Chains A and B, each alone.
Chain A
């Protein structure tokens, strides 16, 4: 067969890309940008019942330097948007973004002067979650979608 038979038991060959993506996908630490009511559901998402640690994302890092996935939970005002963008800029690549809930995705019910109509006006969003607020299951689904996305990316080949 391949090189494994030459090396003997206990060896497995794979592509470096796959290995890195596997690691990244299962340790996507969220940056909880908890703004409003969705933040409470985001806490439930980390809490005992829904338990996001099953997906390797239980480490909520409030420091942008240590996180991979930003979850924007809640409506974004123009005043707050600058702070969010700065935190996003501080996150190291590769990074992903979940727009959690109707307000973060499109402005939702808050169609008024203070609210940015969707965070995609100033952030690249990877997954949108519907609901006002979405149930924690829906956020977990979005996280799984992001994991699928990570697994299909070319990581090292393009970076170097």
Chain B
């Protein structure tokens, strides 16, 4: 499929393919959005490059995705924005189901902090080097990862306790 890239994205793709040619897996477009998939172990390196050399200073979002496949099941997507040329770029990296670990980008963008906690809460992907990796939505006592496809919509009965209905005084 041919790509229709604007100048900024062209520069990104050129830059990435010359400097990180062995780390870049694929570049594709879908519905006018550009997605770049890279090797998981080089995510911090590439994010630093994109922020410092390509001016992608604004991290809009980090989210997980469950592909429900046997290999490289989970995907972490970074939604980056270049405010100078108003261009959006999506960076993807995949992790395995058995040991879902990826490096944290909180050292590059502080904004990633809560988003990574959300991904951890929902998918169980751990972020190495995250300063405060706790569950963000569910209570800490909850032991499942609800956004995984095998988790039922209605939840698992009894997995979260309800309050005691007899008052403390009685």
Contacts and interface: CB of A to CB of B under 8 A. Distances in A.
Q: In the complex, is A directly touching B at CB under 8 Å? A: yes
Interface of A: 78-79, 81-82, 84-86, 89, 111-114, 116, 121-122
Nearest to A112: B153
Interface residues of B, number: 18
Contacts of B160: 78-79
Given A79-B139, A89-B168, A111 B154 contact: yes
Nearest to B161: A78
Nearest to B155: A113
B152 A113 contact: yes
Given A112-B153, A112-B154, A113-B146, A122 B168 contact: no
B164 A85 contact: yes
A111 B167 CA distance: 28
A79 B151 CA distance: 19
Nearest to A123: B165
Contacts of B146: 113-114
A89 B163 CA distance: 11
Dominant SS at the B interface?
A: loop
Contacts of A78: 139, 160-162
Interface in B117-159: 137-139, 146, 151-156
A86 B163 CA distance: 9
A89 B162 contact: no
12 contacts: A78-B161, A79-B160, A81-B162, A85-B163, A85-B165, A89-B168, A112-B153, A113-B151, A113-B153, A113-B155, A114-B138, A122-B163
Nearest to B146: A113
Contacts of A112: 153-155
A6 B164 CA distance: 55
Dominant SS at the A interface?
A: helix
Contacts of A121: 162
A122 B155 CA distance: 18
B130 to A, nearest CB: 22
B75 to A, nearest CB: 22
Nearest to B139: A79
A81 B163 contact: yes
A114 B167 CA distance: 24
Contacts of B153: 111-113
Given A78-B160, A79-B139, A113-B146, A122 B165 contact: yes
B136 to A, nearest CB: 11
Nearest to A117: B154
A7 B15 CA distance: 101
B162 A116 contact: yes
Contacts of A113: 146, 151-156
A42 B160 CA distance: 29
